[in-house]
Structure 1
Amino acid sequence: AEQVESALEAARSAVHAVPDQVSGTVRITTTDTILVGLVAPALKALQAQHPHLRYDLRVSNELASLTRRDADIAVRATHRPPQHLVGKRIGSIRVGLYAGRASGITYADVEAGRTPWVAVDDAIPD
């Protein structure tokens, strides 16, 4: 009994000695665009505050299952996150379409759908 009490006291002391120290590995999934513009700068700042925290980053357009523990955190661009997950809107993504004058493409052509272009596919969620 004394050994157990001694071990518990040692554990209590260790917890109280460094109460704000965060450590371990967090698995994060995101897309390349969001990684560069949002996640990487945030992780750099977080690393300064919590140097013992490690990150396992998965960069892909494929959705990871948080339910199956494929990742701990998913940072995605979506208007409709799955109902079984807790999420928070942290910003919006603005996009633009550009063409060089030499292309001959006009704004009216774009509006009328008369121009070929490359767009996101079904791998990008709504």
Structure 2
Amino acid sequence: MATEASFFAEIGGHETIARVVEVFYEGVADDPVLRPLYPDEDLGPAAARLTMFLVQYWGGPSTYSNQRGHPRLRIRHAPFAVTPDARDRWLKHFREGLDAVDLTPEQDAQFWEYVQRAAQFLVNAEA
């Protein structure tokens, strides 16, 4: 009986996700709305956390949960005003990250659909 490959493996594993996140944070670093939402001067730890989360979400190692417990995305983001504008900017930078890797149209659509749902889920403020 053949086992179905995880989406994580199909898209190129850790290397692909790390590249998406790297390009994403390059955009965040210069974004006047998003950058203040990241209190640490160094975005490296935030990038590492997002990479671990996405690796685990898409079927890779469960390092995120092993180190940080349940993702609790809404609770972890509650201290920050995630407005529709912040969501849109976040999605813009994430789109740039996805565009920087070699995904099939189907893989891109699956990843992008998840990211859009997650970004909307985290909106917690109007302005």
Same fold (TM over 0.5): no
More helix by share: 2
More strand by share: 1
Structure showing greater relative contact order (alpha-carbon pairs closer than 8 Å, 6 or more residues apart): 2
Question: What TM bracket, shorter-length normalisation?
Answer: under 0.3
Q: Which has the larger radius of gyration?
A: 1
